[in-house]
Chains A and B, each alone.
Chain A
């Protein structure tokens, strides 16, 4: 028993954070259930039970939406009927589909955090990457073979996202402009650029009044892992996992990665040691943006198949939560992305079945970040004793970072 507890201890805070956040979310659902609560005067027990039932329905729908019905999967597998299997395992594969961009974006946030930069611009980098992929795919359609378009689109997405991420990194290194403000502004600008680009008749879906691009599936599609009808899971997910390995290798096994982490840990010390702090910032932000751009590319030519303004749906913000939850470790990012993918995918069914707006998830996610970032809060709430087993690496306060002038002064030291 003791051994089990020791094993669980390192993950206690993250798990309890998620559980507590879901509980608070449940309370919010409860408190806004006016249909039931209005009967509180006449039938208090019925009202409370009804409202609690509403919460249970909502979270039940979320669970089924994320993982499907195990019994149904078993029977479907026994019969061996392809459409049945597809229908039964679809919730799980959809969870993985939702996980794919979250892995990319979570890795992106982890890289930038490790280098002491706070990339909130994931949404903008993602959608701009998606735009680049769309333009390349439509531009090359019919001119070259589909695998070439595939590679070209992903490369374009990666480069576009990388450039969009490089801008705040460059501005921070050269002028000290705070990356939180610049990345947020670049998010708005990216959305407007995409909106503007989608006015063009060559990109826009024919006859559509809303700004969506043509369907890209006939031009290029990332090959599926399982070829069953209505299953969207494709090799983008595998690339995401490979990227987690690559980022892990980069951060912990290469000199560049060491420099990135050193810059994040103590910029001044890194500078004294002869590392280029500004270079690390720019590299980290460019890599971060590139990963987000890649996510956008894989979404638009793979799982989603179409560029629209709400393609991202807050992935950039979810990524912050899951990267913190993962303790900024790439392996942890994959696990946390699976959890968030399940929440996202389940949240959609929750919205459809029980009418609970999907946006509740943003609130829950904010709570998760809060609890993970303030472990004392969760430990006090659940009365956990002892020292926290895992320290979440904390980004150094940006105010502590030397300004470019100070950096120059450091450079000039004998």
Chain B
């Protein structure tokens, strides 16, 4: 609502216009406060050096070093804040501030990072690459969320489906590895099984929500609690005593031919674990499918106005079933990342809220795959920074650092960053006549 109002100049003196103008002024003041804060930090940080380096060709090879001081980075942040604040005041309610926010966030985070590091050098290739990698399960969860909500179904159950995916991937892949001894085959079989298991869970969710008219949030909670219960139970009863069933071959980074040879960008973007590439592909494919195909139009129609979609002959319920199964497949893939590519085995409750963070990324990204992908990057970055800072032993308690992704999620969902509108009919049951 506000998003639409803020996007275009409003004539007249309606309530919405007054609210938009007031909001714009509040935002402007907030940007000024940010500028003053950055300027204040700059004054204290001129003497602290900030050293960032990038690998040019490969990990551990030649590196390009960026040497500057914390104060200068803060000055840049202050200038960026000032520019955005100025534009906000000049254009008022018509200012499309959400994209400008990125202009603000990037220097702010860099300066903040340098300040926290306090002169210690950091390898940015690893920071950005790590963010991309940690973002990939969140991005996939967000894609699954987008599919579900675009079709008109809430999908609180992403967390549970990821957990089931992580569990199935680890066990099946371990068994397949024992049986065949082939790493690639075992991994693929494990991932397929994870997707199938989570897809079936998606079907269960759809069946409860559509066939039995269970409130979609309750149905999702059932799956989340049930997934924790069953995976913990089997872990404690079976896997703990039979560790060979929980030692899958781990997924290794894979250099994409040609692209990984690009200087600086290659090591960041194209020398990652295959999940990252699947994430890129998924974003592109889903964007195309949702916005450029007949199927996508029908999907969006089911989520926005199912009654109208039904009237023109679209089988809304079939679309919702399929969307939830598809979402399940994706969340199973995301779950398999956790057990196969990070921990190297299944651990109890290893999702640790990633499914919900994915939902937050979906909201932050305005239910658009590309937006959600960049939003997941923010969360992945928060994760990376947290581990980087705790390794470097920065003087912040690790518990407080660990809570950063969760706090960011609340801030994002609460729409301090901007209220965007989701599919109009998400979560509402539809009776097909």
Contact = CB atoms under 8 A, between A and B. Distances in A.
Given A34-B238, A181-B360, A359-B236, A399 B409 contact: no
B116 interface: no
Contacts of A182: 410, 413-414
B324 interface: no
Contacts of B233: 28, 32, 357, 359-360, 362-363
B228 interface: yes
Interface string B1-36: 110000000000001100100000000000000000
Interface in A49-105: none
B126 interface: no
A360 B229 contact: yes
Among B1, B16, B410, chain A packs the most CB atoms within 10 A around the CB of B410
A406 B1 contact: yes
B400 A363 contact: no
24 contacts: A28-B233, A34-B238, A171-B410, A176-B415, A180-B356, A181-B360, A188-B352, A189-B407, A192-B399, A192-B402, A193-B399, A320-B221, A355-B237, A359-B228, A360-B233, A362-B225, A363-B230, A364-B229, A370-B226, A377-B212, A399-B424, A399-B426, A400-B427, A408-B15
Contacts of A394: 215
A: contact size bracket: 35 or more
Contacts of B222: 366-367, 369-370, 373
A339 interface: no
A362 B428 contact: no
B: contact size bracket: 35 or more
B230 to A, nearest CB: 5
A171 B228 contact: no
B344 interface: no
Interface string B212-232: 111111110111011011101
Interface in B194-253: 208, 212-219, 221-223, 225-226, 228-230, 232-234, 236-238
Contact of B425 (A189, A196, A377, A399): A399
Interface of B: 1-2, 15-16, 19, 154, 156, 208, 212-219, 221-223, 225-226, 228-230, 232-234, 236-238, 352-353, 356, 359-360, 397, 399-400, 402-403, 406-407, 409-410, 413-416, 419, 421-422, 424-429
Interface in A362-407: 362-367, 369-370, 373-374, 376-377, 394-395, 397-400, 403, 405-406
A85 B280 CA distance: 67
Given A192-B400, A370-B208, A180 B237 contact: no
Nearest to B220: A180
Nearest to B397: A196
Among B16, B232, B413, B419, chain A packs the most CB atoms within 10 A around the CB of B413
Contacts of B422: 399
Contact of B427 (A120, A321, A397): A397
10 tightest A-B contacts by CB? A362-B229, A363-B229, A366-B226, A399-B427, A359-B232, A357-B236, A374-B212, A405-B1, A196-B399, A397-B427
B400 A177 contact: no
Contact of A367 (B226, B353, B413): B226
Contact of B208 (A176, A355, A374): A374
B217 to A, nearest CB: 5
Contacts of A374: 208, 212-214
A177 B413 contact: yes
A184 interface: yes
A138 interface: no
A177 B415 contact: yes
A164 interface: no
Given A362-B226, A369-B225, A405-B2, A397 B403 contact: no
Given A185-B353, A362-B225, A376-B212, A395 B218 contact: yes
Among B222, B416, B422, B428, chain A packs the most CB atoms within 10 A around the CB of B222
B15 A397 contact: no
Nearest to B429: A397
A340 interface: no
A188 B353 contact: yes
A254 B346 CA distance: 51
Contacts of A34: 238
A184 B353 contact: yes
A397 B353 contact: no
A356 B234 CA distance: 10
Contact of A188 (B230, B406, B425): B406
